[in-house]
């Protein structure tokens, strides 16, 4: 299925024009269920005089990571998912964004965009969902600005001109208060600046639905407040 067909099937416009404002998108999910695949693993349980002795393979039971989870987030709304470590927050984000990244997991249930059921691929390719993962990986030797220009080349539609991309990068840098360190290489950035850079990489595309895993982890309380303020302003902007 081509991307255009995917968009028309979902009744969502494609994000090709730089002036297109963020599309109103309601994301909802029902009966999401994720469990690990049954697997056989080696059991190393006894030690002979100089080496481990391998016992016969044993069947590991599958483990439920998410069980019948349902919910909705509307345009302009901020929804916080809270839970203890290991509760399944990241698993839920992966499921909603369509990024499982692990074929050892067995997902089921539905995720809808504006009421239409979607596949993982459709959500990943729609351009309407941005996902900031907890751990981002960067090339240490490029500058913050170069990183964002590269991200703009990858993430923004091919119809955009270089000037339009640069202008979006400039605005995003200002939005996340990264001007002071935009010429620094990534290995010269503080933890908080790296976190904001990860957010900036996704903010570039102005996604309608923004999934952020642990948005304030590793930030001091001032920066955490600033990031939450930025997210709040973006949500208010969408309500207009
Ligand atoms: N690919 C996987 N295979 C097996 N267990 C997993 C996998 N991914 C996550 N888990 C387990 O699922 C549980 C939920 O993980 P996660 O969603 O990362 O929790 P949280 O983000 O709330 O801390 C944890 O116990 C974790 O060990
Ligand atoms: Mg997590």
Cβ of residue 66 lying under 6 Å from some atom of ligand 1: no
Tell me: the pLDDT tens digits for 135-163?
A: 888 999 999 999 999 999 999 988 999 99
Cβ of residue 89 lying under 6 Å from some atom of ligand 1: yes
CA distance linking residue 181 with residue 20, whole number of Å: 29
Q: Give the position, in ligand 1's atom list, of the atom nearest the Cα of 104.
A: 1
CA distance linking residue 179 with residue 171, whole number of Å: 10
What does R_g of the chain's alpha carbons equal in angstroms?
21
pLDDT at 46: 46
pLDDT at 109: 95
DSSP 234: H
HSE-CB at 91 with a 13 A cutoff on CA atoms is: 23
Q: How far is the CA of 79 from the centre of ligand 1 (A)?
A: 21
In this predicted structure, the answer to whether residue 125 has a pLDDT above a threshold of 70 is yes
CA distance linking residue 18 with residue 169, whole number of Å: 12
Cβ of residue 230 lying under 6 Å from some atom of ligand 1: no
pLDDT at 3: 40
Q: Which residues contact 203 (CB under 8 A, 6 or more apart)?
A: 130, 172, 175, 176, 210, 234
CA distance linking residue 67 with residue 108, whole number of Å: 10
The structural domains of the chain, ordered by start, are 22-38+61-239 (3.40.50.300)
pLDDT band (50, 70, 90) for residue 5: very low
Q: How far is the CA of 92 from the centre of ligand 2 (A)?
A: 9
Q: Where is mean pLDDT largest: 94-103, 199-208, 226-235?
A: 199-208
Q: Give the least confident one: 9-18, 23-32, 47-56, 146-155.
A: 47-56
In this predicted structure, the answer to whether residue 31 has a pLDDT above a threshold of 90 is yes
Phi first, then psi: give them for residue 108, nearest 5 degrees. Answer: -150, 170
Secondary structure (DSSP) of 202-214:
HHTT--SEEEESS
Cβ of residue 125 lying under 6 Å from some atom of ligand 1: no
In this predicted structure, the answer to whether residue 114 has a pLDDT above a threshold of 90 is yes
């Amino acid at each position: 299925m081509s991307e255009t067909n995917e968009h028309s099937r979902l009744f969502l416009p494609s994000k090709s024009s730089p002036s297109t404002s963020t599309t109103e998108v309601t994301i909802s999910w029902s009966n999401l269920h994720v469990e690990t695949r049954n697997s056989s693993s080696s059991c190393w349980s006894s030690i002979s005089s100089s080496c481990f002795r391998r016992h016969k393979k044993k069947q590991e039971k599958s483990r439920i990571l998410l069980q019948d989870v349902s919910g909705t987030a509307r345009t302009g709304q901020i929804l916080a998912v809270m839970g203890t470590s290991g509760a399944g927050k990241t698993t839920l984000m992966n499921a909603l964004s369509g990024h499982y990244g692990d074929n050892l997991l067995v997902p089921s249930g539905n995720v809808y965009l504006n009421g239409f059921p979607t596949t993982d691929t459709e959500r990943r390719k729609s351009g309407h969902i941005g996902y900031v993962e907890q751990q981002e990986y960067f090339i240490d030797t490029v500058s913050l600005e170069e990183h964002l220009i590269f991200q703009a080349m990858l993430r923004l539609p091919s119809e955009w001109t270089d000037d339009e991309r640069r202008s979006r990068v400039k605005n995003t840098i200002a939005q996340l208060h990264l001007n002071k360190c935009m010429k620094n290489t990534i290995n010269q950035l503080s933890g908080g600046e790296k976190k904001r850079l990860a957010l900036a990489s996704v903010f570039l595309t102005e996604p309608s639905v923004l999934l952020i895993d642990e948005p304030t982890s590793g930030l001091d309380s001032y920066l955490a407040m600033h990031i939450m303020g930025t997210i709040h302003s973006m949500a208010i902007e969408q309500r207009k």
